[in-house]
Structure 1
Amino acid sequence: MSAPEKSRGKAQDTGWRGSVDVWLDAAYDALKESGIDAVRVMPLAKQLGLSRTSFYWFFEDREQLLDALLSRWREKNTGSLVQQCENYAESISEAILNVFECWLNPQLFDSQFEFAVRSWAMQSAEVSAEIARADDTRINALTGMFRRFGYDEEAADVRARTLYLTQIGYISMKTTEDVVVRFRRIPHYVGVFTGKALKRRELDRFYGKFGYAETSPGVFVPLADTFEAS
């Protein structure tokens, strides 16, 4: 089922006006799929099978809807990244793996949403300022993570920026990698970002979170397969 069909189903479930979440979800989908110019009341109403006037039961105007989109982006992407930086880790290498969960789990950090908001910022000084504040917040959280593990201020700042700007580059270039390819690269990335080698148990825990096990160097299989073979 397509995103519009899902949204339309939600609208039917919540009555003829829809709901705040129905309208916001439709705007979220439209932004990610077609950019900010697609986030307009009439096209969203048509997509949802709702009247245009029903929108105004939940939002004063389009600007309020756009503000809600930005709030969702802040809470999801910036909030999750900061939380991952603060999560418990035995070492800086494991702390980096906590952050890497963001790049592999769209429930934590939505890279397509990130790209859409950064594209939107090219048309809006206000959104551009939001991006700048988010970048500062995220880099500060990453810097604090490095500082927690004994790096001096300058080293922590540079390593944090290297880690963060690398991932923003991935997002900006719409780079896609098979999960196994990314798994193979992760130990090398961690070495570059930290100057330290990952421990085997740290890697195994990380791969296990995504349902994989490394059975031999560079070879990954779903954990279900390893259980069946044992």
Structure 2
Amino acid sequence: MPGRKRLTRHDWAAAALAAVAADGLAGIAVEPIAARLGTTKGSFYWHFRNRESLVEAALELWEQRNTTAVIATTDADDPRAALRSLMLAVFVSTTSRADPDAGRGHAVEVALQAGAHDPLVRAALDRVSHRRVDHLTSLFDRLGFAPADARHRALLAFTAYLGQVRLATATPGLVPRGADLDGYLDRLLAALTGP
């Protein structure tokens, strides 16, 4: 059709993530997503074999956006600066009203945690969680903590993030913002990096 944009696999995966943010894993349904994209199921079948392959593509995009890209953009030579940058990036994104994609990313995180019974989701959560904790462990290791201590501190930091995401989703009024977030983050980092 003249004037109609040809959708890509990425367009479909992004729309699937938006559907997960809005309606959970059940939101990944071909016909409603096609309607939101202004296309037909034929476009879907041009890019995907079935719903499962769309779920896989959506999970890959989520991992790239919310893990790979975040780690890459917050890495620094100084491990303390890298840790602060990482924590600030993920904590600010839970409260950002200016970036709807960031908020959707956290809504996706919550929805995926709730959908962990699905084998594809469980495998993605396992892979992403290990990657995140391994990255955090490497930061604490570079700060000079013993391997077991670095791992425990990484798990504490990761659970603080998951708690922040849940709190921002369920009770956003309790989440520190602005200058309050800076002070909160300073205290959190002091607790995580203290003796």
Pick the TM interval, shorter chain: 0.7 to 0.9
Give, in whole Å, the separation in 2 of the partners of 1:108 and 1:81: 11
Number of aligned positions between the proteins: 180
Contact 1:76 1:108 in 2 (8 A): no
- Whichever of the two has the greater Rg, that structure is 1
The CA deviation at 1:72 is: 0.7
1:166-202 deviation line (CA, Å, top 9, x unaligned) = 1112223425325223223121111111118xxxxxx
The CA deviation at 1:99 is: 1.2
Give, in whole Å, the separation in 2 of the partners of 1:88 and 1:13: 46
User: How large is the Cα RMSD of the aligned pairs?
Assistant: 2.4
Select 1:36's aligned residue among 25, 49, 53. Answer: 25
Q: How does 1:22-101 map to 2 (within 5 A)?
A: 22-83=11-72, 86-89=75-78, 92=80, 94-100=81-87, 101=89
Aligned CA distance change for structure 1 residues 171 and 60 (closer, same or farther; 3 Å):
same
| TM-score using structure 2 length | 0.80
Give, in whole Å, the separation in 2 of the partners of 1:143 and 1:71: 23
Q: For residue 112 of structure 2, what is the aligned residue in structure 1? A: 117
Select 2:5's aligned residue among 5, 14, 18. Answer: 14
Q: Note the residue ranges of structure 2 that are not aligned, 5 or more in a row.
A: 94-98
Q: For residue 147 of structure 2, what is the aligned residue in structure 1? A: 153
Q: For residue 91 of structure 2, what is the aligned residue in structure 1? A: 103
Q: Note the residue ranges of structure 1 that are not aligned, 5 or more in a row.
A: 1-11, 197-230
| TM-score using structure 1 length | 0.69
Q: As a proportion of its length, which structure holds more helix?
A: 2
Aligned CA distance change for structure 1 residues 85 and 39 (closer, same or farther; 3 Å):
same
Contact 1:45 1:51 in 2 (8 A): yes
Select 1:141's aligned residue among 128, 135, 141. Answer: 135
